[in-house]
Amino acid sequence: MKIDSSFSFGDRLDDIAAIQAEFQARERLGFDGVVTAEIRNDPFLVVGMGAAVTQRIELRTGIAVAFARSPMTTAYTAHDLNVYSRGRFTLGLGSQIQAHITKRFGMPWHGPAQQMAEFIRALHAIWDCWYDGKPLNFRGECYRHTLMTPDFTPLNTRYGRPRVVMAAVGPLMINAAAREADGILIHTFCTPKYLEEEILPRINATLAERGRRREDFEVSFPPFVVTGRTEAEFEAAKQRVKYRIAFYGSTPAYRPVLECHGWEGLQPKLNQLSKNNGWDRMPDLISDEMLETFAVVGEPRQVAQQIKARYGHLVDRLTLESGLSEDVLSEQIRIMRG
């Protein structure tokens, strides 16, 4: 099992040296990869900063919003980062929800599963042209790419195409990931029960239909973690994770996870609060039972043991948040690797 570190750089883009030092620290600690998300900033920029100062560690987006871009622009960016990092880049894509795509990014929405599957097929059609010399003639319902001239074809192809992994929650998206991608990014809003009973059987069935082997398909998961070095830190983490569970639980797309535990009645209550600016009241609806079902809870070393016990037999990669000291993170890595 590989262990990645999440990378939250906030609004510190003016301090490139500090960002690069954090990448180097994660490589020194022995993490297998660093995962950057698209929240307030573009994740690709930060991957480039990390690639410049590291040698071994994998560099991954987790996630970049696919539908905010075209397959062609994404193909160029992913190709360049893979070359720049000497083959260490993995493109992690997610769809986001319709409101953000149409209202924030101002881009078209064709339905997430269909559009994401076509987006990844389009990427590979473009890369087939660049890396294998095939004519570019991709004609889908959402995307069309039929023009590629020598002047615009990358020549530095020695590292090959980047791996593509895809975020998924619901059954249609899980099927799309198993059909088209090299791996799946399981959403944090997931429980061991939902993973074992709903997600993995669906992945295995779809892979079998496509004649693909499970060992060639990567399952990655970033668990919720409640921990801290002091009681104050622990309580702050507890409230923060309860808020995030409530936030995700308010979204109809994530209702199946609640249904798996008989908590589907919670979703409309959270959704109503979210629509009425009741964000501060939403965590109060998350019980301690729910918290401990979604999150691993305990002091840092206990958390590492729980993560290994819960997920070590289910996933190929785990992503840890990295707010703890280097000695504690090093000990957690040692425990999880066993």
Region of 71 please: left (phi>0), alpha (psi -120 to 50) or beta: alpha
Q: Are residues 200 and 270 both part of a single domain?
A: no
Question: Are 115 and 22 contained in the same domain?
Answer: yes
Question: Do both 58 and 129 map to the same domain?
Answer: yes
Total structural domains in the chain? 2
**What pLDDT, in 10s, does the model give residues 168-196?**
988 999 999 999 999 999 999 999 999 99
189 shares its domain with 305: yes
Judge if 214 and 289 occupy the same domain. no
Long-range contacts of residues 118-124, Cβ cutoff 8 Å, at least 24 apart: 118/142, 118/143, 119/66, 119/67, 119/71, 119/74, 119/93, 119/143, 120/93, 120/164, 120/166, 120/180, 120/181, 121/180, 122/71, 122/72, 123/71, 123/74, 123/75, 123/78, 123/91, 123/164, 124/161, 124/164
At residue 259, the pLDDT reads: 95
147-170 burial: b if 16+ Cβ within 10 Å, else e: ebeeeeeeeebebebbbbbbbbbb
Asked if residue 266 and residue 245 are part of one domain, the reply reads yes
Residues 147, 279 within the same domain: no
Residue 325 has a pLDDT of 84
Domain containing 45 — which CATH number? 3.20.20.30
Q: 45: buried, middle or exposed (CB in 10 Å: 19+, 13-18, 0-12)?
A: middle
Claim to verify: residue 119 and residue 155 sit in the same structural domain: yes
Residue 150 token pair: 């020598």
The parts of the chain modelled with pLDDT lower than 50 are none
Q: Which residue has the tokens 């990295």?
A: 322
Rounded CA separation 203/146 (Å): 32
CA dihedral 227, 229, 233, 238 (to 10 degrees): 10
pTM given for the model:
0.93
- What pLDDT is recorded for position 60? 98
Q: Are residues 157 and 27 in the same domain?
A: yes
Domain range spanning residue 280? 229-295
* Structure-block tokens of residue 244: 């995030």
Q: What is the pLDDT of residue 179?
A: 97
Res 310: pLDDT:
95
Q: Are 144 and 234 found together in one domain?
A: no
Domain end, chosen from 262, 280, 295, is at: 295
- Asked which of 280, 295, 310 is the last residue of a domain, the reply is 295
The predicted-structure confidence for 122-149, as pLDDT tens digits, reads as follows 999 999 999 999 999 999 999 999 999 9
Same domain? For 167 and 246 the reply is no
Contact between 94 and 222 under an 8 Å Cβ cutoff? The reply is: no
Query: Are 268 and 152 contained in the same domain?
Result: no
What pLDDT does 229 receive? 83
Is beta strand 144-145 parallel, antiparallel or unpaired with respect to 138-139? antiparallel
